[in-house]
Structure 1
Amino acid sequence: MSGGAAIYRTSIGHVRRTPLRNAFTYCSYSWYVDVDALPVLPRWIAPLAGFSAADHLGDPAGSLRGNVERYLATQDITLDGGRITMLASARVFGHVFNPLSLFWCHGPGGELRCVVAEVHNTYGERHCYLLHTDSAGRATVPKAFYVSPFNDVDGRYRMKLPEPGERLAVSIVLEREGQQPFVATMDGVRREATVPNILAAALAVPLAPLRVAAQIRWQGIKLWARRLPVIKRPHHPSQEAVQ
């Protein structure tokens, strides 16, 4: 391995409070890496963790750092060579699905300048939220992206995205008209990205990207069966430098 990469074995919870109540929790795992020092796995386990710029914002033929920096440039932010760390799922046997990827963007002195929250939906679209978090990792931002067929794009997200240490604790709360109709959380414990820990995570959650996508769709089928109204997906214009 390289770059001090880590794996977080995660518990992910979704709670929908209105107009129908629905809650579920599932287990997965995420990688935490420096985009300039991506893990290099032994050949025999390399299919368990692949990292590609094509799975994230920007030019598929570019680099993760270059693509993040190009997006930040559209927001008049420069990092001056500072570190960028990423929390995301890796490719497993060629498959990947990241409902949420997070990039913590630092200045050359190590100070956090911003966080990029990249959201993917199951329709193959992506959207990046630029966040200036406080000392506890908190920020709010208007919702601007259609994720669920049962939720429109009204409201604001209240996010808590502290850069992970020994523990990972991320939360996203949708706020609308004094209510919180949807809450998502992701919690986990850090493990070094050693071969035994990589194998343990892959065995605990086989084909994790496919399982996550299937679980999301299954919950959607259950909500549709309960006759929760489907909201038409609006056109989502591509963001500059995001694609």
Structure 2
Amino acid sequence: MELIYLLCSLVSISFTTLVLSLILPFHALLRRLVSSRAASSSSNDGDEPVSLYEGTVYHQRRHPVHHSFQYNVRYALIDLDRALHAPPNHLSPDEARQITDTNGPILLLTIPASVGYEQNPLSVYYCYDVEDSDTRLKKCIAEVTNTPWAERVTFIFNPHSDLVAKALHVSPFMDMLGSWNIKASDPGENLSISISVHHPEFGNYFTASLKAKRLCPTSASDHAVFFWLMPHKVAVWIYWHAIKLWWQNVKFIQHPRYNIPAYRDDALIRDRKLQCCGFSAQRGSNQDCLADEASPRHRWFKWTDAKWPWS
């Protein structure tokens, strides 16, 4: 039944994409006319609330088969306090500051929706603190979304390096055990994000990374054109390499909601243990963790359920 829903969804998205793509040139021309008139009637200091990045996503799996691939990707880094239109279905800057207990700028790295379709396996909020005129990156918030279910888990992490319990079924070829070792650089002319999956049985068996470079403001006169079909390309890569893993007889793992209804609660418990004693918690050495139960540390997590028809 879910396969039928998936096929219907693909047909619907394809039709919407075709129609909106035909309209896109006229929309881009209209935006250019409006922008040129606005520029001629007002001063522009050149400080845009959106920075464009172009780079490469790289995936490598080392168990049970060796499989790797990379693809080019385009991202937008949005200053949420200064953006005229905040992207829908994301946190507001005030919400991000409240969650991370910060007081400075909030930047969102994401792939904007294009011609009616959005595909963001990972979006990251960079949350800054300002103290005595010194602005520094204090915390990050990750939004991890799975395909095709469009479920999402949102959580805080330390950008310098952090270990987070795997809290979402992101792939039908990975179980829910293990943790994400995540790191993100302070975005400037270049940015990078790396995530490796540490499993209690397979060790460090999967790595994903993003490396991107900021483009000059004149590189894209219209953002809608710049990001045209970018979400679709990401989805194609996800589905294509899922098919290749299935073809290599990698075990298909059912969504945990069918056989582990409390998988989210389990993730919270595992994450608390990781914060107490790191990788040793995955290997069964939980004595030190149990000793810390009197003063547990809780990471902020938020789950968003799948929309119809996956709900």
1:30 matched to which residue of 2? 75
1:60 matched to which residue of 2? none
CA distance in 1, matches of 2:175, 2:64: 13
Give the one of 20, 38, 52 matched to 1:7.
52
What pairs with 1:120-159 in structure 2 (closer than 5 Å)? 120-122=145-147, 123-133=149-159, 137-159=160-182
Q: 1:53 to 1:117 in 2, by over 3 A?
A: same
Instruction: Note if contact 1:160-1:172 (Cα within 8 Å) is conserved in structure 2.
Output: yes
Percent of counterpart pairs with the same letter?
Answer: 28
Amino acid at match of 1:115: C
CA distance in 2, matches of 1:208, 1:4: 21
RMSD of equivalent CA atoms? 2.6
Q: 1:202 to 1:186 in 2, by over 3 A?
A: farther
CA distance in 1, matches of 2:177, 2:191: 28
Give the one of 235, 241, 244 matched to 1:222.
244
Q: Which secondary structure state, in structure 2, belongs to the residue aligned with residue 152 of structure 1?
A: coil
CA distance in 2, matches of 1:3, 1:181: 40
Structure 1: where are the runs of 5+ without partners? Answer: 41-49, 58-63
1:176 has 2:211 as partner: no
Q: 1:201 to 1:24 in 2, by over 3 A?
A: farther
Aligned length: 215
Q: Which secondary structure state, in structure 2, belongs to the residue aligned with residue 228 of structure 1?
A: coil
Return the offset for 1:112: 2.6
Return the offset for 1:200: 9.3
Q: Which secondary structure state, in structure 1, belongs to the residue aligned with residue 64 of structure 2?
A: coil
Q: 1:185 to 1:161 in 2, by over 3 A?
A: same
If the length of structure 2 is used for normalisation, what is the TM-score? 0.62
1:162 has 2:156 as partner: no
What pairs with 1:73-152 in structure 2 (closer than 5 Å)? 77-80=100-103, 82-109=104-131, 110-122=135-147, 123-133=149-159, 137-152=160-175
1:85-135 Cα offsets, whole Å, 9 max, x none, are 1111112222211100000112233233311011000111001121123xx
Q: 1:242 to 1:105 in 2, by over 3 A?
A: farther
1:184-240 Cα offsets, whole Å, 9 max, x none, are 01111111343x43559946x740001101210111111112211111111365987
Q: 1:37 to 1:3 in 2, by over 3 A?
A: farther
If the length of structure 1 is used for normalisation, what is the TM-score? 0.78
CA distance in 2, matches of 1:108, 1:16: 39
Amino acid at match of 2:187: P
Q: Which has the higher contact order (CA 8 A, sep 6+)?
A: 1
Q: Which secondary structure state, in structure 1, belongs to the residue aligned with residue 254 of structure 2?
A: coil
Q: Which secondary structure state, in structure 1, belongs to the residue aligned with residue 174 of structure 2?
A: coil
